[in-house]
Structure 1
Amino acid sequence: MAGIKQVRNRKLLPDLRKEGHLSKEIVLSTTEKHGVPAGSRLFSHHTLASVRKLSFYHPFSIPEDSLDIILAATYDHSYEHFADKEDLYLQPETRGCETWRRLRNTVGKPPKPKIPLGHPMKRGGITERKSPFSVKLMNSGVHSSQTNPGYSRQPAGGAIFFY
């Protein structure tokens, strides 16, 4: 889950699939945010708190008392010496860890896949056809040059000179 960026949810309903389920569908007067009357837009727009207060929303787990909150905290008394009083109650989502509960109306945006060689791999098909006449074969003809272009072998010393 590392690398997933949290961006603002611009939809009318928050995404609470990790927290609980709705026993029936939420009725929306509109599916648009722009170009509709303010009353219907306000009626259709829900926040995290408004969806959690609906009678047909059933969360998966709810802390029942203060002991459940303390047990779910990130505080570990064997590592922290002289901790503050509020450290007993710090929850993982407050510290930025990924948990089942959302604090803000955001959605996870996965990162773009990395291209290993800096260019996308092409699969299937031939993209370029080379001419068979431009390939130097093993048994080439007598008129083909035997040196690299721009180089020549001198008959006197046999050294290669660049002209």
Structure 2
Amino acid sequence: MSDIKQIRNKKLLPDLRKEGELRKEIVLSTNEKHGVPTGSRLFSHHTLASIRRLSFFYPFHLPDDSLDLILSATYNHSTEKFADKEDLHLQPETHGCDTWRRLRNTYDKHPPVVVPLGHPMKRGGITEHRSPFSVKLMNSGVHSSQTNPGYSRQPAGGAIFFY
């Protein structure tokens, strides 16, 4: 979360993909913000609240009542002794935690992925190839190929020795 920067969204529509979905296309009279009549610009520009109030915006996570808001709060009664009344209602996004709600008209800018050695080639390769037939389970079958305990074949001579 600390590496992700929140940058102000200068577009006409806010980005609410994490909050809900629009079941219908929003009709905009213009796609420009500058050099157009004021009424056209105000009709096309939406805020977070105006998008949430649209009849065809369906949120994913909507609290049912005040109990859901209190349960999702960051207040913990076992650690805080004398908390204020507003501490019961403070939500995680108020403290800066990443949740499904968006408080400001911003979008997240992720840092560029650092590629080691400057190219995407991997160093190394397959270190171990496990065979599915070498797995010893609790209930092994009668046809499993295992040597008797204590017997082994020597790589040099080829004879079977008992140790």
TM-score w.r.t. the length of structure 2 is 0.68
**Residue 2 of structure 1: CA displacement?**
3.7
**1:66-145 paired onto structure 2 within 5 Å:** 66-114=66-114, 120-121=118-119
**Residue 58 of structure 1: CA displacement?**
0.8
- Tell me the secondary structure at the aligned position of residue 107 of structure 1: strand
- Tell me the secondary structure at the aligned position of residue 93 of structure 1: helix
The 1-side partners of 2:26 and 2:59 are apart by 16
**Residue 115 of structure 1: CA displacement?**
6.4
The 1-side partners of 2:31 and 2:87 are apart by 43
1:105-129 C-alpha deviation (Å, 9 max, x unpaired):
0000112334657xx4598xxxxxx
1:4-57 C-alpha deviation (Å, 9 max, x unpaired):
000100110000011111110000011111222221111110000000111111
RMSD: 1.8
* Larger radius of gyration between Structure 1 and Structure 2: 1
* 1:25 equivalenced with 2:38 (yes/no): no
Q: Which residue of 2 aligns with 1:48?
A: 48
1:91 partner letter: Q
1:93 partner letter: E
**Residue 97 of structure 1: CA displacement?**
0.5
Residue segments in structure 2 that go unaligned for 5+ positions in a row:
122-163
1:45-78 C-alpha deviation (Å, 9 max, x unpaired):
0000000111111111211211111001011112
- Tell me the secondary structure at the aligned position of residue 43 of structure 1: helix
1:34 partner letter: H
TM-score w.r.t. the length of structure 1 is 0.68
Residue segments in structure 1 that go unaligned for 5+ positions in a row:
124-163
